[in-house]
Amino acid sequence: MSIKTSIPKVDGMGLVLGKPAYTDDLAPRDALIVKVLRSPHAHAKITSIDVSSALAIPEIKCVLTHENVPDHVFSRAGQGFPEPSPYDARILNKTVRYIGDAVAVIAGATEKVVDLAMSKIKVSYEVLPAIIDFEEAMDHKVLIHANDETSSMFPIGHDAKRNLAAQYEMKIGDMGQTLDSCDVVIKERYFTQAQAHAMTEPHSAVAYYDFQDRLTIISATQTPFHVRRILAKNLNIPLSTIRVIKPRIGGGYGGKQAIHGEFFVALVTQMTKRPAKLIYTRKEVFTASYTRHQMRIDITLGAMNDGTLKAIDVDILSNTGAYGEHALTVLMVAGSKTLPLYNHVDAVGFRGDVVYTNLTPAGAFRGYGAIQGNFALESIMDELADKLKLDPIELRRKNMIHEGETSKIFEVMGEGTEGTAMTVESCKLEECLDSVLTTLDWQKKYPRTQVDEHTVRGVGLALAMQGSGIPYIDMASAILKLNDDGFFNLLIGATDLGTGSDTILSQIAAETLGVPDDKIIVYSSDTDLTPFDTGAYASSTTYISGHSVRIAAERMREAIVEKANRFFKVTDAQFDGENITAADTVISLKEFATTLYYSQQQEQLVAHGSYVGTKSPPPYMVGACEVEVDKRTGRIKVLEYHGAVDCGTPINPNLARIQVEGALLQGIGMTLYEEVNYLENGSVFNNSFMRYKVPTRMDVGPMHVSFEESYEPSGPYGAKSVGEIGIDTPPAAIANAIFNATGVRIRSLPITSESLWNALNQK
């Protein structure tokens, strides 16, 4: 039995032992070093660019500028096609739109020489006024994409003339009338910040022509198939001439769901016919890749005195920075993956504008809008409880979603498009709630305990939901091959970012085939060798790719039995994972496979599976914590964090647990420490790990993660997803705990000691 066992990751030992596995480790030794000259201005037009003295250096092999690269408008977002993001970027542009935007690309023999060449490129700029404050961006007189022919593949509310990357609105029920009929209406405004992914491996890409002249890209990407598609289209070369290999990746969390350096290395290789590599510096990762979308969220709740929630209305302003990658979809997820939590309401409204600013672009980031929306919704639920003098737990119990129920939101809001109606067939939210209340000892600690004169502790919690892939969009496939000696190759397009999906998918294959795990040798993510997969995002891998593996394995079983029937001239051969039994003959799979290929029948057995989701069953979670506040300094410490998760069947409980623990810490980081700080001119101030503070092992107390298992009928072996859900609860749970401790409500992230101290002293 393979499912529900915590086998070690198939690639784990090799990685811990430091074997070469990542993009830079695999780059050809003679690869040209590629670097990018980046804009020092937040908004400027390049009036002239002189690269002659750079090119005069013999070791410099090529310099790319907007003058010698293909001039297409496209989206760097690694999403399905057609993308729900505006086409607003060029490989290199005459206009630069943030400090860090690419101006020129230099390739040469050594880093030193490239640095030297970079210093010799002369660029003159006509500096344009910039928009730094996202609240001022809409309908500003400065237009960020004024003269470029931006467009969208289908209506996404894109309107460059208003600095709008995307816009969305939906209404269910009569909001005005419902609010009028409520005993209590509360309306609050919340802010969430730009957060950096801070994956340990910087963005990296390598290109070379292989011996057959195929343009090969090795890239730390979550979406190799999207990379191939976007490259081919915008380099004007056939898809068939490109191969994209995803090796091991040092973390992604959404940050690698995009094109980063791939165009540059590909073009350098095209022009020089030499291998090329671009490894971002840490500063570039901070300033010139992606952040989380900063948001301003206005939320209104209407309720009756007994705590019956009647209306939720949400209005969001989202900051996409200079380019609109994931602009619409992140916005929509802020509603679609939070609002169904309270599905008994009469009216729901959701609308939002995603604006351009002259800042580092925002993109996909674990939680993908849900964490922003969750902060607002789960904070205001506590505010409502306070106003109604109700227990926040009781308020939630009364209104939250249950197994067998549905929400109109599922039908109305998808990711970029309409949604898909679905009934929630697995939901252990109630059990999750009970679980954390018990393990945290909530009764005893709620709302606060006074430690001493100035130290006080409080508890807080939040519910959360996410999804499992995007219905009718996310697609995955798998191929299983039986080898002589009776072991299998599993070829999958799914992209393991470190989550352990290669392992989980081989467990699904082993389970279905009934064979031991070590009989499955997995190979993933190479556009030439593995079948298609939309990529690792939207919490889709276990659910979508898992199904494709299950289907392939079922077909493989059938194929083995069919062969055995022919072999033994029977109709009822049995395969139990080890042996094949026909009448009274028993033959091991090992022997059978060898015979099959060397002497009898002599035909290769291969099976494939392909799957596209028709629903997106949400995993659920409750997160609860106890925090301690020192009122003299505003110092906040998370003493313990408890999470109970319903992700259906955890295929590999250890790996599921680490997903949640890691995500929790990222969520705690977002709540208390992390923020991409911009200076007035739009440059990122904290562009290094010296200044950008991700939580360390000394910063937080213990975490307790438990699983309230459910069985999701639509999932492989009852599984739902677990990749993102873990990040969602900390902002609201911690804010609620701080309120319970101090009586002060912080509505703006991150909640720093300074912000709390200021609030405490204004009271």
Partner 1 sequence: MEVTLIINGDRFSFSATPDEILLDTLRKLGYKSVKRGCDSTSCGVCQILVDGKLVPSCGFLTVRANHKLITTIEGVQEQVREIANYITAEGVEQCGFCSPGHMMSLIALFKEIEHPTMEQVKHYLAGNMCRCSGYEGQHRALANYLEVNNR
Q: How many residues bind ligand FES (CB under 6 A)?
A: 3
* Binding mask of the shown chain, residues 269 to 288, with x at each position contacting partner 1 by CB under 8 A: ----------x-xx------
Q: Which of 74, 87, 225, 253 binds partner 1 (CB under 8 A)?
A: 253
Q: Which is nearer to partner 1, 74 or 537 (CB)?
A: 537
Does position 200 interact with partner 1 (CB under 8 A)? The reply is: yes
The span of 261-269, 354-362, 481-489, 684-692 binding partner 1 (CB under 8 A) equals: 684-692
Q: Which of 507, 545, 652, 729 binds partner 1 (CB under 8 A)?
A: 652
d(CA 144, CA 4): 51
For the range 420-423, what are the long-range contacts, defined as Cβ-Cβ under 8 Å and sequence gap of 24 or more?
420/471, 420/472, 420/614, 420/615, 420/616, 422/471, 422/615, 422/616, 422/617
Q: Which is nearer to ligand FES, 283 or 408 (CB)?
A: 283
Does position 658 interact with partner 1 (CB under 8 A)? The reply is: yes
* Residues forming a β-bridge with 580: 575, 587
Q: Which is nearer to ligand FES, 198 or 393 (CB)?
A: 198
Check the CA dihedral 744-750-753-759 and report its sign. Answer: negative
Q: Write down the least CB distance from residue 222 to ligand FES, Å.
A: 14
d(CA 270, CA 64): 12
Q: With beta carbons less than 8 A apart as the criterion, state whether 359 and 322 touch.
A: yes
Q: Write down the least CB distance from residue 661 to partner 1, Å.
A: 3
Does position 696 interact with ligand FES (CB under 6 A)? The reply is: no
Burial tier of 533 (Cβ tally within 10 Å: 0-12, 13-18, 19+): buried
Q: Which is nearer to ligand FES, 247 or 715 (CB)?
A: 247
The site partner of 187 among partner 1, ligand FES, none (C-beta below 5 to 8 Å per kind) is none
Does position 690 interact with partner 1 (CB under 8 A)? The reply is: yes
The site partner of 15 among partner 1, ligand FES, none (C-beta below 5 to 8 Å per kind) is partner 1
In 576-634, at which residue ranges do the beta strands (DSSP E only) sit? 579-582, 585-588, 606-612, 620-630
Q: Which is nearer to partner 1, 466 or 499 (CB)?
A: 499
Three-class SS of residue 106? strand
* Binding mask of the shown chain, residues 186 to 225, with x at each position contacting ligand FES by CB under 6 A: --------------x-------------------------
Q: Which is nearer to ligand FES, 627 or 655 (CB)?
A: 655
Q: Write down the least CB distance from residue 60 to partner 1, Å.
A: 19
* Binding mask of the shown chain, residues 566 to 605, with x at each position contacting partner 1 by CB under 8 A: ----------------------------------------
Does position 198 interact with partner 1 (CB under 8 A)? The reply is: yes
Q: With beta carbons less than 8 A apart as the criterion, state whether 553 and 480 touch.
A: yes
The site partner of 13 among ligand FES, partner 1, none (C-beta below 5 to 8 Å per kind) is partner 1
Site for ligand FES in 251-290 (CB under 6 A): 251
> Position 751: which residue type?
I
Q: Write down the least CB distance from residue 724 to ligand FES, Å.
A: 16
Neighbouring CB atoms inside 10 A of 406's CB total 14
d(CA 540, CA 521): 22
The span of 65-73, 444-452, 588-596, 647-655 binding partner 1 (CB under 8 A) equals: 647-655
Please name the residue ranges forming H helices in 337-489.
370-388, 392-399, 408-412, 429-440, 442-445
Check the CA dihedral 663-245-110-287 and report its sign. Answer: negative
d(CA 631, CA 639): 16
Q: Which is nearer to partner 1, 20 or 82 (CB)?
A: 20
Burial tier of 305 (Cβ tally within 10 Å: 0-12, 13-18, 19+): exposed
* Binding mask of the shown chain, residues 300 to 339, with x at each position contacting ligand FES by CB under 6 A: ----------------------------------------
Q: Which is nearer to ligand FES, 28 or 251 (CB)?
A: 251
Site for ligand FES in 494-513 (CB under 6 A): 498
Q: With beta carbons less than 8 A apart as the criterion, state whether 372 and 192 touch.
A: yes
The site partner of 663 among ligand FES, partner 1, none (C-beta below 5 to 8 Å per kind) is partner 1
* Binding mask of the shown chain, residues 692 to 711, with x at each position contacting partner 1 by CB under 8 A: --x-xxx---xx-x------
The site partner of 249 among partner 1, ligand FES, none (C-beta below 5 to 8 Å per kind) is partner 1
Check the CA dihedral 282-288-289-292 and report its sign. Answer: positive
d(CA 508, CA 516): 11
Lay out the sheet containing 606-612: strands in order across. 520-524, 488-492, 475-482, 606-612
State residue 202 phi and psi, 5-degree precision: -65, 165
Q: How many residues bind partner 1 (CB under 8 A)?
A: 57
d(CA 463, CA 550): 31
Q: What is the DSSP letter of 7?
A: P
CA angle, 506 as apex, 505 and 510 as ends, to 5°? 120
Block residue for tokens 């005893």: 444
Q: Write down the least CB distance from residue 709 to partner 1, Å.
A: 18
The span of 18-26, 234-242, 371-379, 574-582 binding partner 1 (CB under 8 A) equals: 18-26
Q: Which is nearer to ligand FES, 249 or 492 (CB)?
A: 249
Block residue for tokens 């799914």: 494
Q: Write down the least CB distance from residue 200 to ligand FES, Å.
A: 4
Q: Pick from 207, 192, 300: which is nearest to 260 by CA?
A: 207
Q: Which residue is nearest to ligand FES (CB)?
A: 200
Q: Which is nearer to partner 1, 124 or 200 (CB)?
A: 200
Site for partner 1 in 495-524 (CB under 8 A): 497-500
Site for ligand FES in 103-122 (CB under 6 A): none
Q: Which is nearer to partner 1, 276 or 655 (CB)?
A: 655
Does position 199 interact with partner 1 (CB under 8 A)? The reply is: yes
Q: Write down the least CB distance from residue 253 to partner 1, Å.
A: 8
Q: Write down the least CB distance from residue 478 to partner 1, Å.
A: 22
d(CA 700, CA 639): 7
Q: Write down the least CB distance from residue 724 to partner 1, Å.
A: 14
Q: What is the DSSP letter of 28?
A: -
d(CA 604, CA 607): 10
Three-class SS of residue 166? strand
Does position 12 interact with ligand FES (CB under 6 A)? The reply is: no
Q: Which is nearer to partner 1, 150 or 222 (CB)?
A: 222
Q: With beta carbons less than 8 A apart as the criterion, state whether 291 and 196 touch.
A: yes
Does position 13 interact with partner 1 (CB under 8 A)? The reply is: yes
d(CA 51, CA 44): 19
Does position 173 interact with ligand FES (CB under 6 A)? The reply is: no
Cα–Cα distances (Å) from 724 to 73, 185, 500, 620, in that order, read: 31, 32, 14, 11
Q: Which is nearer to ligand FES, 275 or 500 (CB)?
A: 500
Q: Write down the least CB distance from residue 250 to ligand FES, Å.
A: 6
- Return all residues near 409 (Cβ < 8 A) that are at least 6 apart: 172, 335, 336, 339, 340, 343, 348, 419
Does position 206 interact with partner 1 (CB under 8 A)? The reply is: no
- Give the distance, in angstroms, between the CA of residue 20 and the centroid of all CA atoms in the same chain: 25
Q: Write down the least CB distance from residue 664 to ligand FES, Å.
A: 15
Rule CB under 8 A: which residues touch partner 1?
A: 6, 8-9, 11-13, 15-22, 24-25, 197-202, 248-253, 279, 281-282, 497-500, 652, 654-655, 657-658, 660-666, 688-690, 694, 696-698, 702-703, 705
Rule CB under 6 A: which residues touch ligand FES?
A: 200, 251, 498
